[in-house]
Amino acid sequence: MRAAGWGRVVLISSDVVGQPMPAAATYPAAKGALEAAALVLAVREARHGVLTNVVRPGFTRTERALTHPGFGQEAIDAEGARTPTGRICTPEDVASTVAYLASAANGHVNGEVVSVAGGRHLTR
């Protein structure tokens, strides 16, 4: 990317960063470290035409969310009800955000952590 003078790095985090998860403390810690590393890259590589950003999805409607014990349609409905948009994130919501940040259309977004969670972080 440096040699080409152009590049886009998009890392995927999670909206669990900063939330207590006693049963899985290492997951939010690892995602927090990923976000910190992305910010370093954003500062260091921008002068070479490489923009670095993070996408932070919220609870996402996936096959795993529908079938995993403890999740399921009831959990999806409950989380959607607590989200300002009235629904949880879809894979398409995440993909379109990543596609923009990774594209040439993104000419100046750098060092950002973009939440794709329908504003859920506003209601916690």
Give the catalytic positions in this structure. 27
Please give the C-alpha separations between residue 49 and each of 7, 10, 12, 58, 108, in angstroms, as whole numbers.
6, 14, 21, 29, 10
User: HSE-up of 112 (CA within 13 Å, CB side)?
Assistant: 14
**In whole angstroms, what separates CA 26 from the centre of its chain?**
17
Q: Name the DSSP letter for residue 47.
A: G
